[in-house]
Amino acid sequence: MSTQPATITAEGAGPVLEIVTFRLLDGTDEAAFLTAAAGTEALLRERGSLVRRALVRDADGLWTDVVEWTSIEAAMAAAEAVMSHPDFAPFGAMIDPGTVTMRHAPIRWRMD
């Protein structure tokens, strides 16, 4: 457990969360999807601006991909670069495109 005090970040001055929600295409195997997600790790890390990432699924099958980037500029550049990269294709091919929502939100307060 961290003993660091919580921090407040000025708007636009720090990291952002990229929050993507989606559903998988019907018939997609979850284990295969998670393997494809793991296949994006090197691509995302080589950007140099990735802080952390978590991929979660709720009881209704809605997935949320939460990626923390060092800045909004880094998040936008990464989103543009990875969408057309062949290493991202297996992951993206399993997602139902009609269900995707993406938003970016600056982190204003953090407690680790």
Distance of CA 58 to the CA centre of its chain: 16
Q: State yes or no: pLDDT of 14 exceeds 70.
A: yes
Q: State yes or no: pLDDT of 99 exceeds 70.
A: yes
Average pLDDT of span 18-35: 98
- The residues spanned by each domain of the chain are 13-110
Q: State yes or no: pLDDT of 34 exceeds 80.
A: yes
Per-residue tokens: 35: 């393997």
Kind of pairing between the strands at 109-110 and 50-57: unpaired
Q: Say what percent of the chain tops pLDDT 90.
A: 78
* CATH no. for 13-110: 3.30.70.100
For the four alpha carbons of 110, 16, 64 and 46, in that order, the dihedral sign comes to negative
